Structure 1
């Protein structure tokens, strides 16, 4: 959905919604839930069209491999975002030892509930290497999912890595509008 640049506001909010405490944690969760809700209302149909499916019957999240009992992303998608609430299912669970897989992309990182060809919208909070999200999608496919599409709240970037600064500079030249869709660059008309 957006770039989350190390040390900047959005990356900070993606960290705080999980790690802050008390009212501050709820504040960041509400803000991110509102952004996700608005994005999906405007762009979920674009994702489905791009995937050549009529829609996504189920929505799930990439589970934590750190042992966190109740992941705040699950709370947002399952309870706070009306657009996903009725379609949300706990379809994935991290396997014991998933955390030690490191940067390996493997369906063995997660166990998936049995599926019968349902199209699944998979939501993750941050994409750094993509290994967790890709592993989750592979596990869903192995569990019998039809099409699996991924929406990530923030693409974590470090400006000091490779040519990232050039990419971000080009991205900053584009004016933000909710109508701009990565799948339909001309916008919604």
Structure 2
């Protein structure tokens, strides 16, 4: 949905929604839930059209492999975001060796409950290498999912890495609009 640049506000919020306590935790979770809800209200249809499916009957999240019992993303998607609440299902479970896989995509990182051709919208909070989302997608497909589309709250980028700074500067030239769609080259809403 957005770039999450190292040491900038959105990356900070994606860290704080998981790592703060008390009222701060609720504040950051509500803010991110509102962003996800608005994005899906405007663009979930674009994602479905891009996948050539009528929609996503099931929504699930990429679970934590760090041992976190109740991942805050799951709470947001299952309880806070009206656009996903009624379609949410806990489908994925990390394999016992998930953390040892490091930063490699592996179809054995997660197991999934059985699916029978349902189209699944998979939501992840951050994308650094993409290996967790790719592994989760592979597990869903192996368990019988139809189409699987991934929506990520923030794409983590470090502007000191490679030519990332050039890409970020080009992105900054585009004016923000909720109607701007990554899949359609025109504004809509």
State the TM bucket, normalised to the shorter chain: over 0.9
TM-score (norm 1): 0.99
Alignment of 1:7-156 (within 5 A): 7-156=7-156
Cα distance in 1 between the residues matched to 2:170 and 2:185 = 15
Q: CA RMSD in A?
A: 0.6
Question: Which residue matches 1:172?
Answer: 172
TM-score (norm 2): 0.99
Q: Deviations over 1:93-141 (max 9, x none)?
A: 1010201100111110001000000000000000000000000000000
1:161 equivalent to 2:161? Answer: yes
Specify every segment of 5 or more residues in structure 2 that has no aligned partner in the other structure, as ranges: none
Cα distance in 1 between the residues matched to 2:96 and 2:85 = 28
How far has the Cα of 1:85 moved from its partner?
0.2
Deviates more, 1:146-155 or 1:95-104: 95-104
Cα distance in 1 between the residues matched to 2:96 and 2:135 = 15
Please list every run of at least 4 consecutive aligned residues from structure 1 whose deviation after the TM superposition is greater than 2 angstroms: none
Specify every segment of 5 or more residues in structure 1 that has no aligned partner in the other structure, as ranges: none
SS in 2 for 1:4: strand
Aligned residues: 189
